[in-house]
């Protein structure tokens, strides 16, 4: 399988809800392998299919030595919460404190269509919630409180990977403008 480019903040696929997987075939197994290879190469604790440009409800995770994947996840969240640092491979180099459920039960399928139940707390719970959010078109910065979100958006605009930082670049037309424009 192969390492794929990771889509960055601003790519429309990251804010689009992914479609459920209906075919548990060789193509899905190849996608899971690509997600795993890409996540481990990054390295990251999780990676969702939209982050490599595939609009399907699949993600991989690698937390505290536990490597796995989940297809068509559904989460049951605990009432207890955790508050701590969170980052994203699609928003490289930036972390912000984010509130999440302390524990989670995730139900879905493996790449062969067999039912899977994953119970996790703390970091695994955070990863399962974060990756499932990706499948719903939600980025972790969407979950930040107002002040922290403003800080995050400023940091994103100033990041060298966005191309959004610094003053706007003006392009001057090489053609005569007849007094219109610059």
Catalytic positions, written as ranges? 131
Structural contact between residues 148 and 97, judged by C-beta atoms closer than 8 angstroms: yes
What are the Cα distances from residue 62, in Å, to 87, 89, 117, 123, 129?
14, 13, 16, 10, 14
Structural contact between residues 70 and 124, judged by C-beta atoms closer than 8 angstroms: no
Strands 103-109 and 58-63, by their bridges, are unpaired
CA distance 9 to 161: 9
CA distance 124 to 117: 13
Token output for 128: 């399962």
CA distance 126 to 128: 6
Opening angle at CA 33, ends 28 and 68, nearest 5:
95
């Amino acid at each position: 399988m192969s390492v794929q480019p990771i889509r960055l903040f601003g790519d429309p696929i990251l804010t689009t809800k992914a479609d459920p997987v209906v075919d548990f075939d060789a193509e899905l197994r190849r996608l899971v392998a690509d997600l795993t290879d890409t996540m481990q190469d990054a390295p990251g604790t999780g990676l969702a299919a939209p982050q490599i440009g595939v609009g399907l409800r699949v993600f991989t995770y690698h937390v505290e030595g536990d490597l796995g994947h989940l297809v068509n996840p559904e989460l049951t969240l605990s009432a207890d919460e955790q508050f701590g640092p969170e980052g994203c491979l699609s928003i490289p180099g930036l972390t912000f404190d984010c509130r999440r459920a302390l524990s989670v039960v995730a139900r879905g399928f493996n790449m062969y269509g067999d039912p899977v139940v994953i119970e996790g707390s703390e970091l695994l719970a955070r990863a399962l919630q974060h990756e499932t959010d990706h499948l719903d078109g939600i980025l972790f910065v969407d979950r930040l409180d107002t002040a922290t979100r403003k800080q995050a958006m400023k940091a994103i605009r100033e990041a060298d990977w966005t191309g959004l930082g610094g003053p706007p670049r003006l392009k001057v037309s090489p053609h005569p403008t007849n007094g219109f424009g610059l």
